[in-house]
Structure 1
């Protein structure tokens, strides 16, 4: 049995960057995705650049400012030239994201990723937006540049790559869940899959996150869980091998 532990949001803030660093060094994270348009993206990469970690592009069109000219992507930005929030996008009755405009921004973020890291991303996916047009634009750019497109919510993607997402967990009134109980509840799914993937958002809190993100208390909680002795013992007990996209694809 194999499992990919993906950590999202590198670059969203310095606090999150430090929490992701800890979750890589002391915890189970095997992949981490950087948000190229965010001001703390370079800071995040500098923290992890000398660590052997599978690094992907966590493409972002719902937080902060775009890299491309806002005038060229009107379907993605508000009157202030900033991205619409994920809440606004995901609750629209009609998907008004223009695929070509979206590809323009995704390409700009890919170029910034390469400028920051000096290499192409080892996997390619998106942040917090479930628009079909956005996902299509991501897939189009990934194919154009021969990048590994990661979309574990898509059953067809799961079957194609033999990587299966675990069930969604339910949040309580504080926006939290019990990761220990959750993992125990998912053991049967993990054992029947060739490879499973689970996505985390570990990090430490800072003012930017408190003001701009719906994920707050969950971040340090997931950081603690990923670094826990309980998780290390649990993975060993059930003979679950932690892999990343790079290692897993080589093994197929």
Structure 2
């Protein structure tokens, strides 16, 4: 069974990034979704250069400030020069198309200048100028989009519906981690929110030839996140879960193959090659079908 686990909100703040990198280095994170406009974006881009085995998605929340001068994208910003979508996502429908294309390009160009790479994946909704502009720029830069919902092949540029994509690769998405309430409800949080258990509840024997994609927000908190985000303690619990020794043992015991997003898309073995290079006990000998520790 293959497992790709994603860290969302990468680049939110520097302390949040610290938690993501802990989950990468000590845990099972194989893919990150980066926000390129938030306070920790540049820190994230600089540091991720040292982790080429981690695939990258483009997390286009647009919660921070534009890369371009706000005066060049007036339809996208509020009076403070920040993106105006944080509290009302419907405002994306009113943006100017050309301004949005320019900002998308500027974000990718900045990432390229710092990291030497662009995101591997992005998500696009079929709504308004914001999403149409994103699609244009993803097509220009050959970024695969809507991997979680059906995607565009980088090589052909042709869309493959979600049913065909998931059927082809036998990919399933993991469901929510909580048993009741929500991840923002403290009455339920500590007793019910268990991301590691969510993974370990998979019936591996039943899904021996399947691929699973999961996501979380593993990171540390700071004053920015505490002041503006409704998702707070869940981030710390996610980081703890991704580094849980019991989860690591479960992966080894059940011969689960950790993969990044590019591995799922193109049949490569980048993440496993990394594990082999560092002598990790999570490495699977693909040819022999065995874990490096003898399982």
Distance 1:198 1:135, change over 3 A: farther
Deviations along 1:130-188, one digit per CA (max 9) or x if unpaired, are: 67334443333222111222441459346336343223445241384221443355548
The answer to whether the aligner puts 1:228 opposite 2:244 as a matched pair is yes
Give 3-state SS (helix, strand or coil) of 1:191's partner. coil
Among 201, 205, 208, the alignment partner of 2:221 is 205
The offset of 1:30, in angstroms, is: 0.6
Cα distance in 1, alignment partners of residues 177 and 149 from structure 2: 14
The answer to whether the aligner puts 1:167 opposite 2:163 as a matched pair is no
Cα distance in 1, alignment partners of residues 209 and 176 from structure 2: 16
Among 160, 163, 179, the alignment partner of 2:195 is 179
The offset of 1:223, in angstroms, is: 0.6
Name 1:82's counterpart in structure 2. Answer: 82
The offset of 1:242, in angstroms, is: 0.9
Cα distance in 2, alignment partners of residues 103 and 57 from structure 1: 18
Asked if the contact 2:121/2:145 (under 8 Å) is kept, the reply is yes
Asked if the contact 2:177/2:198 (under 8 Å) is kept, the reply is yes
Cα distance in 2, alignment partners of residues 138 and 192 from structure 1: 36
- The normalised TM-score by structure 2 is 0.71
- The normalised TM-score by structure 1 is 0.82
The offset of 1:32, in angstroms, is: 1.7
Distance 1:138 1:29, change over 3 A: same
Distance 1:29 1:112, change over 3 A: same
The offset of 1:17, in angstroms, is: 1.1
The offset of 1:195, in angstroms, is: 2.0
Give 3-state SS (helix, strand or coil) of 1:246's partner. helix
Give 1:57-206 correspondences, 5 Å limit.
Answer: 57-89=57-89, 92=90, 95-121=93-119, 123-125=120-122, 132-133=127-128, 134-153=130-149, 156-157=161-162, 159-160=164-165, 162=169, 163-170=171-178, 171-172=182-183, 173-174=185-186, 176=189, 177-187=193-203, 191=207, 194-206=210-222
The offset of 1:3, in angstroms, is: 1.5
Cα distance in 1, alignment partners of residues 219 and 16 from structure 2: 4
Distance 1:150 1:131, change over 3 A: closer
Q: Which runs of 5+ in 2 are unaligned?
A: 152-160, 269-295
Cα distance in 2, alignment partners of residues 187 and 243 from structure 1: 18
The offset of 1:192, in angstroms, is: 7.5
Name 2:39's counterpart in structure 1. Answer: 39
Name 2:274's counterpart in structure 1. Answer: none
User: How many residues align structurally?
Assistant: 247
Deviations along 1:22-50, one digit per CA (max 9) or x if unpaired, are: 11110001112332223322322333422
Name 1:14's counterpart in structure 2. Answer: 14
Cα distance in 2, alignment partners of residues 94 and 38 from structure 1: 17
The offset of 1:80, in angstroms, is: 2.3
Distance 1:70 1:159, change over 3 A: farther
